[in-house]
Amino acid sequence: MSTKKIESFDWDIRVRERNLKQEKLTPKDVEKHLAALPDLLETTDAVTYAQPALGGRED
């Protein structure tokens, strides 16, 4: 990983591209971080919300 301290919000997908462009994160940092995340698929339930602003239907 890079030598800079990486805060939890730096991994936020909404700011990740900016962090990569500013070299606060490297692609290798992101790859390592994602690989270390636990797989929680078996412990979750799918939840669907209508998103009218994106053209989704409201049921």
pLDDT digits (tens, 9 = 90+) for 11-51: 888 899 999 999 988 999 999 999 999 999 999 998 888 88
Would you state the pLDDT for residue 49?
85
Q: State the distance between the two ends of the chain, measured CA to CA, in whole angstroms.
A: 46
b or e along 35-46 (b: 16 or more beta carbons within 10 Å of the residue's beta carbon)?
eeeeeeeeeeee
In this prediction, residue 4 has a pLDDT band, given cuts at 50, 70 and 90, of low
Q: CA 17, CA 20: separation in Å to the nearest integer? A: 5
Residue 59 has pLDDT above 70, yes or no: no
Please give the DSSP secondary-structure letter assigned to residue 58: P
Would you state the pLDDT for residue 39?
94
Q: CA 25, CA 39: separation in Å to the nearest integer? A: 23
**Tokens 């799918």 label which residue?**
46
Would you state the pLDDT for residue 1?
46
